[in-house]
Amino acid sequence: MRELLARRRVFLGFVSGVVVLLLATPTRMSIAIGMTIALVGELLRIWAAGHLNKAREVTSSGPYRFLAHPLYVGSTIMGIGLAVACASIIVSFVIAGYLAATLTAAIRTEEAFLRQAFGDGYDRYRSGGGSDTKRFSMAQALANREYRAVVGLVVVMLLLVWKATYNGSF
């Protein structure tokens, strides 16, 4: 079940997104505050993606010095921002449920892969050992396709602005 959730999290995100959009009651203020929070999450994701060489090494530079899973922390911050932007307690529960289920599954699946692929190197990283000085690379962030999350955030913002305008709340 865990691997299924981890693999299907993007699809489940689209399904959850439709539900969220239908139930959202955004206002100008909720969008401004929520999208500011979400932007902080996306900036963390970009920083992390610019240090990450997926499936090729254990990364311990950039935000990986402080957080084991900065991409997922960034996604969680984005989810909090989206919940604020939507101004709906029901939406907050939908987002929290989606994030709790899919990110927990993704983290467990990823950690199992990293332990299998890198053995003691991953365990040393998790125990605070190892710290490389690799610099941030926008090319690496693009190679990790972080632009998809940026586009998704912009689309969500525009849809919420449209809904708020349509509902007379903007």
pTM given for the model: 0.90
pLDDT for position 166 = 87
Judge whether 94 and 16 are in contact, CB under 8 Å: yes
C-alpha of 70 from chain center: 8
pLDDT for position 12 = 85
Instruction: Break the chain into its structural domains and give their ranges.
Output: 2-166
pLDDT for position 130 = 62
pLDDT for position 164 = 95
Name which of 153, 152, 130, 139 is nearest 49 in CA terms. 139
Taking CA atoms, 137 is separated from 50, 71, 125, 131, 147, in Å, by 5, 15, 21, 17, 14
Domain 2-166 classified CATH 3.30.70? no
pLDDT for position 131 = 64
Judge whether 66 and 92 are in contact, CB under 8 Å: no
Q: Which residues of the chain have pLDDT under 70?
A: 129-131
